[in-house]
Amino acid sequence: MLPRELKPEQFSSYPREAKALAVENLAVLRELPLSFIPSLLHEVIEFDYKFPAERNALEREMAGLAHVSSAQRSELMQGFSAIRVSAKLEQFDWVNFPGQFVEQLSAHLWTTHQLDTFRLAATAYADRMRAAVPVKAPPVPRLGITVIGAGVESYGEPLFRKLRPHGAYFSNIAPENGLDILLTAVADRAKVHDSPYAHWYIDGGESAAHSPSLTTISYAALEPVRAALLRKMHAEIAKPGMGPEALRTTMAQLRPVDLGLGAPGNDVLDRFQVKLLTEGSGTQIFSTSFTQWAAREALRRAEPTTLLVRFAPRQRQKPMNELLSPDAGRAELDVVGSLIDADMGAYYNWLNQQRLPGAETAALLAWFEGHTSAVVIGPTVPRGTVSNKSTDMKQLLSWIV
Amino acid sequence: MKPFDQFGRDVSRSRREFLRDAAGVTFGSTLLRSPLARAAVVSKNRKVVVITFGGGARDQETFAPEGQGNVPNMMRGLIPRATFFTQVVNHGILGHYVATASLATGAYETINNFAGLPPENPTVFEYYRKELKRPSSDTWVVAPSNGFNHIGESSHRSFGPGLGARVILPKHLLTAAMGSGPADYQHLLRDNYETPYYTPELSGGEVELEQLENLLKLSVADFKTHARTLSSPDELSVYIAKQLMRQVAPSLLWITMHDIDIAHAGTYSLYVEGIRRTDQLCAEVWKTIETEPEYSGKTTLLILPDFGRDSDEDAGGNGFQHHRTGDPLSRTTWLIAMGPGIREGVVYDRPVDSLDLVPTIGSMMGFSASLSKGRPITEIV
């Protein structure tokens, strides 16, 4: 089927708000090329379970597409229209399974050497939309905090090497009560600038005591969910003919209730957590991978104004089948390896925060937990500087918040 | 976004500047064409060893200034004695099996990366054996077991069955040797980081267990004892490759590494550890080439990754973890060539295509890769 043949009843299986959004924009959808529209529907079909920031972004994108003439829309889509799509893909039920279509389209783009063309089209489209539909800066400058190295007694190599050129490195901070001070600062911001899903705390282990006003995810709290997921993966893989693509499809269809989540009123966060485990790579087995991916996805999707990420030790590497076994037992930890993972994760948190509106006013603090070194980045912090001056966490925060 | 060509030039420039400072190498573009450079004439005795620096590695963890600590053996030991190409571009599909198959055929393969199918175009092994009438024992592939068992022989109707390389899958061999006592060896059987549950049925020309003794001159007991001293699948692969070089001495040997691909699990420390280990293993293979009488003085070693990994700057990816965006950094890699007749300490920054490998080997060994889409790399043939 081609987009021009779309009818309202074809969205009947969409959740309520998603269906309304699609039907309301049907005239626009009909004019979009097949290489583009399933990516958009992949977002639309999840509309009811999206964070406020991404709902707003999707509505703005739809409005941006609707408010131009057909000729302008056609010109906007020129790059995508040039993509050759196979007859097999045309016949796929891309309305009801847009995510699977996108995966198959991706494979098609690789095999037909059209990936570079698609990348150029996507980049050009994003640039045009950004220019046409300006995004709003956050109500308060964003603050990112990354805490790394839990459980590491000493480490001789330099840390924060990738972050240091962007801010000031401190080597003599008082570590006492550091985490409490940071969590209090985050809670204070949540109190003053209250907004749904605006202030997050992600912990790679067990979460520390924190304000209930924070959106919180902890790897330890998800342990039963991970175990349920691993059991399902084992069961699926044992089925004859099961390959990686089929497994990925099965995992993508899992709902919170399938994994023991699904408390009333928690739909959005539950689905987010399930996606972290079913769509993330390595998130099921390594807490550092989970923490980095959770932070990345929280920033990309929820666009929080405050995000505190604390990495915890991950299990040591073992054979993959053993790592994925639901009966693996208590794992031996790799604290130094986890520190190295987290050091890179802190840099990625900064990069991902910089991709959001208001990047020029955003600030970041990264701290080696329980130790005296930290780096702070912000609009007023001199870049690439080092300080040996004795200071504490409150003072560090005061320079960037 | 920078145009691809511009990005490629920037990548090339940064590598070139670094290599000149660190290793005292010379730019190939500044050299006059010397008759000595053509001394690498086709020889009946010439041998070629190819190592794919497996799993995809980026500049910043290898040859960029901040990555040099991860590849000390290549920086200090190999590159000063090699010709180094800073810009090898893979325009194909960035999946490990299909990309390795493309390297081995000199044509961009489009086979399903996870289906365990043979390449559709003739492999370098088939060209070599058919044209030079060489026995199967003269071409070997040592490869990780995740679907690579078909890498030695294509489905092409003019080549294919009976003309390919013999394939040895060390992990498969170890599994067979372990019998019912796997506990001490599981760390050597790690596989399939991208799709951990996918383990295709093995069939085809891999070495059977009894050949361990007959071919590699290794008893099962000795093999198991030595395996216990190793720490990764790639170490096991190199151990088998060295044994193969001593006992069989194939003229064309292809070793595919894979440890680095642990990056898909998202753990930066394990990814870097994989690079360091692969760097050390490359040096070990070169040392074996230099010391084994069957190889010393007549062997060309070619080392190249199958491709890179996504850049930190591309918002569509997640940095080092994957190779899914198709961005320039994930497509741009490097090539080390060393051995008799190849200039030492020379760097070329002109773009080379991944497909050029097969016709280059053809020129070195005296056969025509007639269906390959690449061109011989003139600087090293």
Decide if B195 and A247 are in contact by the 8 Å CB cutoff.
yes
- Residue B4: per-residue pLDDT: 38
Residue B202 pLDDT greater than 70, yes or no: no
CA distance A344 to A149: 12
Q: pLDDT category, A96, cuts 50, 70, 90? A: very high
Of chain A residues 239-258, which have a CB less than 8 A from chain B?
A: 242-245, 247
For residue A395, the distance in angstroms to the closest alpha carbon of chain B comes to 31
Question: Could you report the per-residue pLDDT of A33-52, keeping only the tens digit for each?
Answer: 999 999 999 999 999 999 99
Both structure tokens of B126: 């088939």
Q: Judge whether A156 is closer than 8 Å to chain B, CB to CB.
A: no
Which residues neighbour A144 within 8 Å (Cβ) at sequence distance 6 or greater? A306, A307, A309, A349, A350, A353, A362, A363, A364, A365
Which residues neighbour A350 within 8 Å (Cβ) at sequence distance 6 or greater? A144, A146, A163, A166, A364, A366, A377
- Residue B7: per-residue pLDDT: 43
Residue B190 pLDDT greater than 70, yes or no: no
Residue B206 pLDDT greater than 60, yes or no: no
* Nearest residue in A to B231, CA atom: A318
- Residue B180: per-residue pLDDT: 55
- Average pLDDT (B288-317) is 96
Question: Could you report the per-residue pLDDT of B23-80, keeping only the tens digit for each?
Answer: 556 767 665 444 444 444 556 689 999 999 977 899 889 988 889 899 999 999 999 9
Q: pLDDT category, B20, cuts 50, 70, 90? A: low
- Identify which of A119, A324, A334 has the shortest CB distance to residue B326: A119
Mean pLDDT for all residues in chain B? 85
Measured between beta carbons, which residues in chain B are less than 8 angstroms from residue A348? 312, 318-319
Whose tokens are 């361990």? That residue is: B212
Decide if A116 and B4 are in contact by the 8 Å CB cutoff.
yes
Cβ proximity of B94 and B103 under 8 Å: no
Least confident of A312-326, B120-134, B366-380: A312-326
Cβ proximity of B102 and B109 under 8 Å: yes
CA distance B271 to B266: 8
Q: Determine the longest span between alpha carbons in chain A, in angstroms.
A: 68
Whose tokens are 């030595």? That residue is: B226
pTM above 0.80, yes or no: yes
HSE at residue A204, side-chain half, CA atoms within 13 A, is: 32
- Residue A263: per-residue pLDDT: 85
- Residue A339: per-residue pLDDT: 98
Please state, as a whole number, how many other Cβ atoms lie within 10 Å of the Cβ of residue B32. Answer: 5
* Nearest residue in A to B321, CA atom: A281
Q: Name all domains of chain A by residue range, CATH numbers in brackets.
A: 3-132 (no CATH), 143-400 (3.40.720)
Q: Is the dihedral of CA B263, B264, B268, B269 positive or negative?
A: negative
Whose tokens are 């086709």? That residue is: B42
Q: pLDDT category, B172, cuts 50, 70, 90? A: confident
Which residues neighbour A138 within 8 Å (Cβ) at sequence distance 6 or greater? A303, A305, A356, A357, A358
Cβ proximity of B371 and B71 under 8 Å: no
Burial of residue B174, with CB atoms counted within 10 A of its CB: 0-12 exposed, 13-18 middle, 19 or more buried: buried
Q: pLDDT category, A222, cuts 50, 70, 90? A: very high
Q: pLDDT category, B6, cuts 50, 70, 90? A: very low
Q: Provide the 3-class DSSP secondary structure of residue A264.
A: coil
Question: Could you report the per-residue pLDDT of B66-111, keeping only the tens digit for each?
Answer: 898 999 999 999 999 999 999 999 999 898 889 999 999 999 998 8
Q: pLDDT category, A383, cuts 50, 70, 90? A: very high
Decide if A289 and B91 are in contact by the 8 Å CB cutoff.
no
Least confident of A185-194, B146-155, B291-300: B146-155
Residue A169 pLDDT greater than 60, yes or no: yes
For residue A191, the distance in angstroms to the closest alpha carbon of chain B comes to 31
Q: Judge whether A328 is closer than 8 Å to chain B, CB to CB.
A: no
Least confident of A202-216, A316-330, A331-345, B177-191: B177-191
Amino acid at B275: I
Measured between beta carbons, which residues in chain A are less than 8 angstroms from residue B313? 351
- Residue B189: per-residue pLDDT: 56
Question: Could you report the per-residue pLDDT of A258-274, keeping only the tens digit for each?
Answer: 999 988 889 999 999 99
Cβ proximity of B279 and B70 under 8 Å: yes
- Identify which of A113, A237, A289 has the shortest CB distance to residue B197: A237
- Residue B164: per-residue pLDDT: 96
Burial of residue A383, with CB atoms counted within 10 A of its CB: 0-12 exposed, 13-18 middle, 19 or more buried: exposed
* Nearest residue in B to A288, CA atom: B267
Question: Could you report the per-residue pLDDT of A109-152, keeping only the tens digit for each?
Answer: 988 889 889 999 999 999 898 888 878 889 999 999 999 999 99
Q: pLDDT category, B192, cuts 50, 70, 90? A: low
DSSP string spanning A289-310? HHHHHHHHHIIIII--SEEEEE
Residue B200 pLDDT greater than 80, yes or no: no
Which residues neighbour B149 within 8 Å (Cβ) at sequence distance 6 or greater? B116, B143, B167, B169, B172, B200, B202, B203, B204, B205, B206
How big, in percent rounded to 5, are the helix, strand and coil portions of chain A?
Answer: 50, 10, 40
CA distance A195 to A300: 17
Both structure tokens of B298: 């007549």
Residue A322 pLDDT greater than 70, yes or no: no
Which residues neighbour A117 within 8 Å (Cβ) at sequence distance 6 or greater? A79, A82, A83
Residue B204 pLDDT greater than 60, yes or no: no
DSSP string spanning B149-180? GGTT----TTS-TTSS-EEE-HHHHHHHHHTT
Residue B326 pLDDT greater than 50, yes or no: yes
Q: Judge whether A314 is closer than 8 Å to chain B, CB to CB.
A: yes
Cβ proximity of B274 and B260 under 8 Å: yes
Decide if B267 and A233 are in contact by the 8 Å CB cutoff.
no
For residue A192, the distance in angstroms to the closest alpha carbon of chain B comes to 31
Mean pLDDT for all residues in chain A? 93
Question: Could you report the per-residue pLDDT of B254-286, keeping only the tens digit for each?
Answer: 999 999 999 999 999 999 999 999 999 999 999
Amino acid at A147: V
Q: Name all domains of chain B by residue range, CATH numbers in brackets.
A: 4-380 (3.40.720.10)
Measured between beta carbons, which residues in chain A are less than 8 angstroms from residue B4? 116
Interface test mutation site (partner B, options A148, A229, A317, max chain B beta carbons within 10 A): A317
